[in-house]
Amino acid sequence: MDIHEYQAKELLAKFGVPIARGGLAYSPEQATYRASELGGTVVVKAQIHSGARGKAGGVKVCKTEKEIEDAAEFMLGRKLVTHQTGSAGKLVSRLYIEEATNIDREIYLGFVMDRASERIVVVASAAGGMDIEEISASQPDTIIRVAVDPAVGMQQFQARELAFGLGVDPEIVNKLVPAIMGCYRAFRDLDAMMVEINPLVITKEKQVVALDAKMSFDDNALFRRPHIAELRDKSQEDPRETYASDRGLSYVGLDGDIGCIVNGAGLAMATLDMIKLAGGEPANFLDIGGGASPERVTKSFKAVLRDKNVKAILVNVFAGINRCDWVAKGVVDAVKELDIKLPIVVRLAGTNVEEGRKIIDNSGLTVISAETLADAAKQAVEAAKKA
């Protein structure tokens, strides 16, 4: 789960990470009022779940009330398109008005969970700012990485080594170390998956300030972090994924036209690969999980059908914990209840497979049966093209 910049800053500030003063605004009038509270030059920032907002016109430095009002009018209600949002963009419904900072130097600082090493890894660069992606690609040697031993956690000496590695002045080290340690504690204590500050700036007054902040959290740990779960903004999420997750389904929306209903993450990935191999494009990843009751199968169909680009549906179930007759009954019930007109390809294997196939064959529905995954993928691609 991702959160907005202002939310991330509020959380990080509680762990001792220095931030600039700011306030939230939902209208141009509120934006000018917030700016008057701060005084002086301010920065108007669109709040969306995406980076590269500055390049897309979502961050503007304003010196007068007219500039603030114009910037707010321009951003609010607009879909901001960045290289991270895709062509659809994300709707701007709130702004963060922040006092301007006298920047002397920008640094990149990030904390991520590295699954390969099973460690929290700190990633830092002396060159922060909007071009960090290009810098990491063209100058990978400038990126500093520090792995944190989970048995002891991040130590002060590691933060100091990181600060010296970034080449900051000795007088800044003692201010940078608490900021680094605060980010680590927030990552650890809030079950985060990513904490990123880009840029972490050193001001001309020799202060350290987190000028931007992004945080994402482990969805599986939200049950024990209700104050984090409350920060979720569904308007920033793919509506297909939101609908599915609210019903306990593992769903990831894609750009194709073949809807997929599969049990098991590994089999779902293999199904996507087979569709691609057959010349088609999957519309989604959907894992219905272990206890695939007929009701759960129907919910899965509803989730897939919310994507208007879907032209065919492929159901691929290898039953172990599941039973093929349950899944087959769910398919039949869903087609009848939802009055589905799209072509449906069903491949069943495993527990009670014969009973499942009989239910499909005796249903009187025009459901396409397949023996193998390769055959199912081929038939789904052909059906989608005809549709």
In this structure, what token pair is assigned to residue 56?
């897309």
What residue spans in the chain does CATH classification 3.30.1490.20 cover? 21-99
For the annotated binding site for substrate, the residues are 263
In this structure, what token pair is assigned to residue 378?
């081929």
| The pLDDT of residue 133 | 64
| The pLDDT of residue 18 | 96
| The pLDDT of residue 367 | 85
The residues assigned a catalytic role are 108, 196
Residue in 249, 240, 198, 239 with CA at minimum distance from that of residue 219: 249
Q: Going by C-beta distance under 8 Å and a sequence separation of 6 or more, which residues neighbour residue 91? A: 48, 77, 78, 79, 80, 235, 236
| The pLDDT of residue 143 | 86
| The pLDDT of residue 313 | 94
92-126 per-position pLDDT tens digit: 999 999 999 999 999 999 999 998 889 999 999 98
Output the CA–CA distances (angstroms, integers) from residue 346 to 24, 285, 304, 368, in the order listed: 50, 16, 15, 6
Ranges in the chain, pLDDT < 50: none
Angle at 137 between CA 8 and CA 119, to 5 degrees: 50
For the annotated binding site for ATP, the residues are 45, 98, 101, 106
CATH architecture of 103-229: 2-Layer Sandwich (3.30)
CATH H-level, domain 239-386: superfamily: Succinyl-CoA synthetase domains (3.40.50.261)
357: burial class by Cβ within 10 Å (0-12, 13-18, 19+)? middle
| The pLDDT of residue 130 | 58
Query: Are 205 and 271 in contact, with CB atoms under 8 Å apart?
Result: no
275-305 per-position pLDDT tens digit: 999 999 999 999 887 666 778 888 899 999 9
CATH H-level, domain 21-99: superfamily: ATP-grasp fold, A domain (3.30.1490.20)
Supply the DSSP string of 11-78, one letter for each residue. HHHTTT--B--EEEESSHHHHHHHHHHH-SSEEEEE--S-S-TTTTT-EEEE-SHHHHHHHHHHHTT-
For the annotated binding site for Mg(2+), the residues are 198, 212
Q: What is the residue type of 153?
A: G
| The pLDDT of residue 331 | 87
What residue spans in the chain does CATH classification 3.40.50.261 cover? 239-386
What residue spans in the chain does CATH classification 3.30.470.20 cover? 103-229
| The pLDDT of residue 302 | 92
